């Protein structure tokens, strides 16, 4: 069954945090990208392949600028992100502040977050569990 993201806010926990107790996990809240935002952030290099079961998959190579733009645009807030002294870091409203925080994150974490956010408008079963809408 296809599940479609239409609106709302989602949350994502990095793979490296999933084994931690819930209260210690950093939770990234993000909104879906509009179709126009997605196209503006995509790289030009798209490769399609059909798997053995006949499903068509697109492989898109994103550049770093698109990765940063995705994170700045989509992340709405971050829970439990702390600096080296244990102080809570608040996700700022300004682009410069957001870039400063993103620059301090490990590159693999940024890539994982951007991939989760840009995962397209459909979710497979494993993604449904990791990208559940935030309860109001």
Q: Regarding predicted confidence, which is higher, 136 or 55?
A: 55
> For residues 3 and 130, is the Cβ–Cβ distance under 8 A?
no
Judged against a pLDDT cut of 80, whether residue 59 lies above it is answered with no
pLDDT of residue 57: 67
Q: Which two tokens stand for residue 51?
A: 């798997």
Tell me, yes or no, whether 136 lies in a domain: no
Q: Kindly give the interhelix angle for 107-117 and 64-74, rounded to the nearest 10 degrees.
A: 70
- What pTM, to 2 d.p., does this model score? 0.71
Tell me, yes or no, whether 7 lies in a domain: yes
34-45 tens-digit pLDDT = 777 776 666 555
Domain hosting residue 106, numbered range: 3-130
pLDDT of residue 47: 64
User: How many domains does the chain contain in total?
Assistant: 1
Judged against a pLDDT cut of 80, whether residue 62 lies above it is answered with no
Tell me, yes or no, whether 135 lies in a domain: no
Q: What mean pLDDT is predicted for residues 61-82?
A: 87
DSSP 34-82: PHHHHHHH--SEEEEEE-TTS-EEEEEEPPHHHHHHHHHHHEEEEES-B
Rounded Cα gap, residues 90 and 83, in angstroms = 10
122-134 tens-digit pLDDT = 344 454 455 444 4
């Amino acid at each position: 069954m296809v599940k479609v993201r239409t609106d709302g806010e989602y949350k994502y926990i990095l793979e490296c945090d999933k084994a931690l107790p819930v209260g210690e996990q950093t939770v990234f809240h993000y909104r879906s990208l509009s179709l126009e935002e997605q196209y503006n952030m995509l790289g030009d290099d798209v490769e399609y392949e059909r798997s053995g079961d006949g499903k068509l998959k697109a492989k898109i190579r994103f550049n770093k600028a698109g990765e940063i733009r995705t994170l700045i645009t989509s992340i709405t807030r971050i829970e439990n992100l702390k600096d080296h002294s244990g102080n809570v870091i608040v996700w700022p409203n300004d682009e410069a502040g957001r870039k400063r925080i993103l620059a301090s994150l490990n590159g693999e974490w940024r890539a994982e977050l951007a991939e989760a956010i840009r995962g397209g408008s459909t979710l497979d079963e494993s993604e449904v569990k990791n990208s559940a809408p935030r309860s109001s």
